[in-house]
Structure formats: C-alpha cells, structure tokens
Amino acid sequence: MKQYKVGDKAWYARYDMVKVTKPCPVCYGKKQVMLILGNKDKVVLPCDYCGHGFDEPSGVITEYEYTAEPEHLIITGIESKQDLVSKEIRYYSGGRYFLAEDLFDTKEEANKRCAEKIRQAEEEETQTAMKLKLNHYKSYAWNAGYHLREAKNHKQRAEYHERKAILCKAKASRQKCKRCGPEIEIDSPEDAEVCGNCADDLRQEEMAEK
C-alpha cells in the first residue's frame, strides 16, 4: 500500500447515494396483500411495507442506490496510529481524513475500490431489508388474527346487546294499572294506562254522570 506525503495528489474512492423510487417488493404495486390462514381462508390486508403510520399504501417505496464518484484531492496532513496489533495511517485533506486503503494514484484504481465498498454496503443493506420484510410478513399474520378476533368479539357483543334490547322491550310493554294495581300489557305509549275492567268501569261511570 503506497504511502503519500503532504502535497501529493491522490484519488479517493468515494461513493454517493441517489434517491430512487421502486415498486414495493411485498405487494408489487398492488397496495394490498393476501394472507392464507391455516384453514385455507384468505384475508386481504393493506400493505404496511409501502404504507407508513396513518399513510395509505402507495405501491412504491423510496430507496437509495449507490454510485461511484472518485474524488481527486491533495494531501494536507498525515497522522499515524499504531498499537500492538495494527498500524493505521490517516491522510487529511480539506478538514477531512481518509484511510490509506481508500487512496490511489489513478481514477481507475479508485473506481475499483468504490465497486468493492458499494458491494459490501449493498450486502449489508440487503440483509437488513430481508429482516424488515420478514417482520412485515409476521405483522400481517398478527393483524389478520387481531382483526378476526375483534370482529368475532364485536359480533358476540352485538348479539348480547340485541338480546338485552329484546328483553328491555318486552319489559317496557308491561306496566301496572293505575286504577287497580295489577300488571297489564300495552302495545304503545298511547294506550290506556288502566286495565280492561277498569276501563269498562270508567265508561259506565261517565255514562251515569251524563
């Protein structure tokens, strides 16, 4: 590995990242995924890989692609660090430092080193992306189970309240005669508030008064 001096020119193997938009690798642009349950039932869920938080799935994701951009620079300082195991040389230029393994005499050599660094970065990124993808697959199963359980619970609660409402309606259709006391049935609030016998008595009393 070549050693440089202050004032020497060198090519730094620098790479950059460019923002790009790609189809979602989970729903493939369809914005939803289908989960097959153990009993072969199919559940369609919104894709939360291309949807974030309260945002609706978009069918696309934003990623960054690496691009090689070697940089020509002049060495302005040198620093050497050594311990019992290894020795590290840092070259400075414009307030930044660079490792010796990333500096070269030609742009072609720097480009080759850029390709190696990009390949390493992409491998690490792919491993991370696969872990995230697997986590999203797990979340779909959890979401399906959660919503199915909640739907079942709501249905049971609705049936319970419906039964209670029927009982309350039955109870509301009965009341006590205000004249003699026994419980009587009525069909509507406008019905008489006395039993049939008392109603006959009241009619006879009215006729007698006339």
DSSP string, 20-82: EEEE-TTTTTSSEEEEE-TTS-EEEEE-SSS--TTSPP-SEEEEEEEEE--EEEE--EEEEEE
Residue 29 in contact with residue 59, Cβ under 8 Å?
yes
pLDDT at 153 over 80: no
Residues 6+ positions from 94 with CB-CB distance below 8 Å: 73, 76
pLDDT-based confidence at residue 101 (cuts at 50, 70, 90): very high
Among 136, 113, 169, 153, smallest CA distance to 35 is for 136
- Higher-confidence residue of 13 and 127: namely 13
pLDDT-based confidence at residue 48 (cuts at 50, 70, 90): confident
DSSP string, 121-150: HHHHHHHHHHHHHHHHHHHHHHHHHHHHHH
* Region of poorest pLDDT, from 30-34, 96-100, 107-111, 129-133: 129-133
pLDDT-based confidence at residue 110 (cuts at 50, 70, 90): very high
Most confident of 55-59, 139-143, 163-167, 178-182: 55-59
* Contacts within 8 Å (CB) and 24+ apart, 89-96: 89/3, 91/4, 91/10, 93/12
Residues 6+ positions from 178 with CB-CB distance below 8 Å: 193, 194
Q: Can you tell me whether residue 11 is helix, strand or coil?
A: strand
- Higher-confidence residue of 134 and 105: namely 105
Q: What local confidence, expressed as pLDDT, does residue 200 receive?
A: 73
- Higher-confidence residue of 54 and 99: namely 99
Domain positions in the chain: 9-123, 173-209
Q: What local confidence, expressed as pLDDT, does residue 141 receive?
A: 54
- Higher-confidence residue of 177 and 79: namely 79
Residues 6+ positions from 52 with CB-CB distance below 8 Å: none
